[in-house]
Structure formats: C-alpha cells, structure tokens
Amino acid sequence: MDLYEYQGKELFRRYGIPTSDGRLATSPAEARAAAEELGGSVVVKAQVLTGGRGKAGGIKLAEGPAEAEEKAQAILGLDIRGHVVRRLWIERASDIAKEYYLSLTFDRGVKKPLFMFTTQGGIDIEEVAEKHPDALVRLHVDPLEGFQPYQARRLLYGAGLTDPSEQKQILDIVGRLYAAFVGCDALLCEINPLIVTPDGQVRALDSKFTVDDNALYKHPEIAEMRDLSAADPQEALAREKGVTYVKLDGEVGILGNGAGLVMSTLDVIALAGGRPANFCDLGGGGDAQGVVDALEVITSDGQVRSIFFNIFGGITRCDEVARGILQAVERIKIENPIVVRLDGTNAEEGRRILAEAAPANLHTEPTMLEAARRAVELSR
C-alpha cells in the first residue's frame, strides 16, 4: 500500500524524523486557511500516488494565503499521469541550500534491506544511478543483526559528506528511518530530497512510503490511511467482495482457481495470440456466490470482450463449479461470450450440467489450449 506524502511524513514524525509543519487541504478555501495558520510563505503540494509532481506542475510556492488559494485552485483537479489531484498538502516553505537523497528498500536478491544515499538528491534517482553510479552509495543491513550506527557512518563517508553537523543529523535520521521501516513493515521509505537549509538544518522535504499489504493487519492505523476513492474502481470492487483480482490491458477476462493455474492460463492466452484483460483467482472455492462475485468484477471492466473460465477440479468439484456458473449467469446478465474448460474431479458431470442448461453465449471446450483459442477468437 502506497501512502501519500503527507501520510508518510506523519509516520516520519512519529519516528522523530524532522519534517516541515503543514496542513491538509481539499479546497482552495482550506488551502487559504492553512496558509493563514502556518504564516509566511508556503508550498502547495499535490497529493497523488505518483512521483515527479514538481515537473508536472503539482508543486507551487505561494507568498501568502491569497496566493495559496490561487495555486490550490490551479492544482486541484489536475491530472498527473492518470492521478487526479483531490488533496493538497500545504507546508511551510523551506529555504534550500542542498538536496540529498536517502532511501531504504528491500533488495530481494540478497534478502536484506538496502540503504541508498547520495548528495545528488532532488532529481530522479534513476538518473543519478545511470550517470553518476559512484555517487550513489549502497549499504545492506543484516535483518538479524539489525541496524548498527557505524554502518550509517560508512554510508555518509562513502558519499563524501564532510560537514560534522550534517553528518550528525543525517546519522540520526538514518537510524530513525530504519526504525520506521521495520516498525511499519515498510517495503520502501524514500526521502527525496533530504534538504539542508542555509542555516544547516536537515529535514525530509518529501516522502515516499510503501507498506507491505500483508502486514497491514498489524497496523490498523496505517490500514485506515488507504484512500478508497483513489483506487481503481474494479480493484476496489474486488477488495470489497474478497476476490483476488489483477487488472491487465488486453481483451480476454480470465477466471481460474489457484494461482498456478491462473498464471498458466495467462500464458496459454498469449500462446493463442490473445491478451488477458485481467484475471481473477477463485482460490479453492467454486460456489455460486464466489463465481457471481468474480464474474461481476471481471465484467465491470469495459475492456473485456470474452471470458475464459479455466477450472481444474481438485478439492473443488467441477459439477459444483458448473452449477455456480449457471446460477451466476442467471443472476447477472453477461453479454460477453464465456468459454469454459473444466477438468479434474467430476469434470464429465460438470460438462454435462453445462451442456444441458447453458445459455447460447456459453461454450465448453475439452482442453485448455482449445478453450484459449476459442476465447481469443471470440475476443476479436
């Protein structure tokens, strides 16, 4: 789960990482009030779950309340790479002498958290990594030993940071960032830029914070931060129905049972020359309600032209699934052609049930490849 900048900063503050004072606003009037409370110049920052807001016109300085209202008016509703701005973070403006970069993420290859630090912050880190790879210092932390302060020193010396006051402040921030990362079960904590003000104060000017979905049950207060209105409507519907769903961009909607089978179904659709529009995993179940829920989610995607229902009956019995499909197509009207492949436990019985009662847009095929070909053909 990705957090907005202001939410990430709230977590930073909880762990003692310095940030600037700010307020959330959802209208120009609120932005004005926020600027009045904060006093002086402020930055009006679009809150969207994507980076590069500065370049896209989503971050503007304002001299005072009137200008903050004006800038808020201009930024609200802006489309930043498909993300419409509905929230603003109004922050006391900082004077910037230097912009650094500090992040902590998972290096899955070596199964350890990885710090990255460079004094060339503010810009795209990919650009630094490409053009000045030596300027980007990497440091792995052994998760069992935990973070040790001397490691942070290596990180900073490696980047050529010589100012003792900056060293001291950033050493402290590095330790706190590790605590925040572990404490929140984060997958990414990024500060870009980590600024130094002209009077030598170091603080986080931006935040990118991603929390592991699988750990959210431990952090109800973070789980509550999820912005349901920003979620893809199909994904929100799937979440509500408890269906595992992933959106892709082809034309064939895929429904299978079990992650392995669903993955091979994607492959076989590609092999047949088609492109999956999405996929739903029914898991172990195949009861009518589960099928109805999954079909509802799949058909709510306007890109779907045909549906491939691929079931291998193990514990799930195919006759049960066949009855589920029939009940589902009775309950919700589906215009798209549906191709069903049933195999495994009680497959013959399942096919017979479908053959007897299926509507005209429902086709059964004996093998996965034949079913995939048919579904692809019908998606054209």
93 binds, among Mn ion, ligand GDP, none (CB under 5 to 8 A by kind): ligand GDP
Where is 171: in which H helix or E strand? helix 164-183
Is 206 a binding residue for Mn ion by CB under 5 A? The answer is: yes
| CB-nearer residue toward ligand GDP: 196 or 376 | 196
Count of residues touching Mn ion (by CB under 5 A) = 2
Residues 275 and 248: beta-carbon distance below 8 Å: yes
Is residue 6 part of the annotated active site? The answer reads: no
Q: Does 366 bind ligand GDP (CB under 6 A)?
A: no
SS3 28: helix
Task: Restricting to residues 120-149, name those near ligand GDP by CB under 6 A.
Answer: 122
Work out how close the CB of 55 gets to ligand GDP at its nearest, in angstroms, rounded to a whole number. 6
**37 annotated active-site:** no
What is the spatial distance between Cα 85 and Cα 70, in angstroms, rounded to a whole number? 15
Q: Which of residues 73-102 bind ligand GDP (CB under 6 A)?
A: 93-94, 96, 99
Distance CA 340, CA 126 (A): 45
Instruction: Write the CB contacts of 149 (distance below 8 Å, at least 6 apart in sequence).
Output: 171, 175
Which CB contacts under 8 angstroms, 24+ apart, belong to 231-237? 233/300, 234/278, 234/297, 234/300, 234/301, 237/296, 237/297, 237/300
**20: contact with Mn ion by CB under 5 A:** no
C-alpha–C-alpha distance, residues 241 and 297, integer Å = 9
When asked if residue 193 is in the footprint of ligand GDP (CB under 6 A), the reply is: yes
Q: Exactly one of 100, 101, 178, 245 is catalytic; name it.
A: 101
Query: Which stretch, 86-94, 136-144, 174-182, 199-207, contacts Mn ion (CB under 5 A)?
Result: 199-207
Q: Is 18 in the site for ligand GDP (CB under 6 A)?
A: no
State the Cα–Cα distance between residues 198 and 96, nearest whole angstrom.
Answer: 6
Q: How many residues bind ligand GDP (CB under 6 A)?
A: 15
CB of 34 to Mn ion, least distance (A): 21
Dihedral (CA of 308, 313, 316, 319) sign: positive
CB of 308 to ligand GDP, least distance (A): 39
Task: Return the ∠ at Cα 97 (arms to 21 and 19), rounded to 5°.
Answer: 20
Give catalytic residues, as residue numbers: 101, 190
Chain residues that interact with ligand GDP, rule: CB under 6 A: 43, 51-54, 59, 93-94, 96, 99, 122, 192-193, 205-206
Chain residues that interact with Mn ion, rule: CB under 5 A: 192, 206
